[in-house]
Each structure stands twice: as structure tokens, then as C-alpha cells.
Amino acid sequence: MRVATVRNDKGICGGVSPAALHREVVNHLNESLKLPPDKLEEEIDVAERKAAGLRDCIIEKFRQESITGGKSKWRKPLDDVNVALGLIASVAYPATGIHRSYLEQAEKILSDMEEDLSRLI
């Protein structure tokens, strides 16, 4: 099943830079990590949506560069955000209890992306 992506006249990124979306995701994860487990579930859902929005924006940038025929510089950030998104989803649907360490790993991966994104934009 394919999930439709909503576009507006400013594209998938909504006129916001990938770096700004990235900061929003990292800030949300940092705040979420401060919460007790019973308050974390809803925030994980929000973090997952924000990370998916960042991924979609990076995919748009990746496709724009790929059209020109060159190797896209967006491949590594795309790979990183996909790994982080997988970790966030693992927190949301654990077999037993909440695995806060997955959220911490996702936050680290995304934080480490900052330098890569700053060079691309």
C-alpha cells in the first residue's frame, strides 16, 4: 500500500528548510527524553510524524538532484533519517515496555546529521 504525501504550493518541505525541520525533530526528541514513560507515548507519535516529514523533505531534495543526473549529496542524510525513524518506530511498538534507549539512539543519529545538513544547504 502506498501512502499519499500531501504537497502544497511550496512542495513537500512546506517552504521550510531541511535544517529547520531537522532542528524541530531533534528539539522534540530532546524534550521527549525528559518525560516519564507514562507521558512518552503521545510524544513518540509526534516525533515519528516530524521525522517522517523530514525524511519526505530530504527525499524531495534527493529526487531533485537525481533528475540532473549527478550523484545526490542527500543520500547520507536520507539513510540517517531512515535509521532514526526506524528506531523511533521501535520505541512506539516494543514487544515489552518502552525502550528509551532507541529514542536516545535516534536523537544521537539526528543530532549528528546537523553538520551534514549545514553543508548541503
pLDDT digits (tens, 9 = 90+) for 8-55: 446 678 888 899 999 999 999 999 999 887 788 888 899 999 999 999
* pTM score: 0.79
- Of the options 1.10.3210, 3.40.1440, 1.20.58, 3.90.1420, the CATH number for the domain spanning 18-120: 1.20.58
- CB-CB neighbours of 6 under 10 Å: 7
In this predicted model, what pLDDT tens digit does every residue of 70-111 receive, in sequence order? 677 888 999 999 999 999 988 866 555 667 888 899 999 999
* Rg for the chain, CA atoms, rounded: 15
Q: Where are the domains of the chain?
A: 18-120
Distances (CA, A) of 104 to 16, 59, 91: 25, 24, 10
User: How far apart are the C-alpha atoms of 27 and 115, rounded to whole Å?
Assistant: 16
User: How far apart are the C-alpha atoms of 54 and 22, rounded to whole Å?
Assistant: 6
Residue-wise burial string across 55-77, b where 16 or more C-beta atoms lie within 10 A, e elsewhere:
bbbbbbbbeebeeeeeebebeeb
